[in-house]
Structure 1
Amino acid sequence: MSTAEIREFDPSKRGYHAVYRDNEVNHCPGCGRTHWYVGRTLAECGFCATALPLMESWHQGAMFTTMQRTRPVFTSAHAA
């Protein structure tokens, strides 16, 4: 490849990119229906199992969630 053929990646020139958009009617590109099972990063068509990435998942960085729970403290009067 010559240096003229090597170009920087430009997402706007890659063509149609199907994604699942939250709060909109999403038609499946495989079967045209609108029933979806939505996960954390993908939405799967309920009829033909076509999977689409969530539009919102592109905006969220890779992170993890921690949960802290407090447990009740029982005194000796409750233990009896």
Structure 2
Amino acid sequence: MLTSNISTTRNFNPSMRGYHAVYRENAVNHCPGCGRTHWLIGRMLAECGFCGTALPLSESYSRSAAAPLFRHGTGMLSRAA
């Protein structure tokens, strides 16, 4: 009978996943496609203005795509317009 013990032989190692390109706010971001620094910034992605390479925003991982909820003095919640 062959048993597999994958959990001990293949532990997650972030350094083994390779290069993870993201657009970082407040930093000079060079395009991995062409090396230039002109970007068009959206809600979830930044697109190179020259070659069109798209990178996810590093901040988009910590933010939800839904509109934020605001709490009023009465305890009611409402979505942002």
Report how far residue 64 of structure 1 moved: 2.0
- Report % sequence identity: 63
For 1:33, the equivalent position in structure 2 comes to 36
Q: Report 1:54-69 matches (<5 A).
A: 54-65=57-68, 66-67=79-80
Q: Which has the larger share of strand?
A: 2
User: What is the TM-score when the length of structure 2 is the normalising length?
Assistant: 0.68
Q: Report 1:1-80 matches (<5 A).
A: 2-4=4-6, 7=10, 9-65=12-68, 66-67=79-80
Listed as ranges, the gaps of 5+ residues in structure 2 are 69-78
CA distance in 1, matches of 2:25, 2:15: 21
Greater C-alpha Rg: 1
Report how far residue 15 of structure 1 moved: 1.2
List structure 1 runs of 4+ shifted beyond 6 angstroms. none
User: What is the TM-score when the length of structure 1 is the normalising length?
Assistant: 0.69
Aligned AA for 1:2? S
Change (3 A) 1:40 1:8: farther
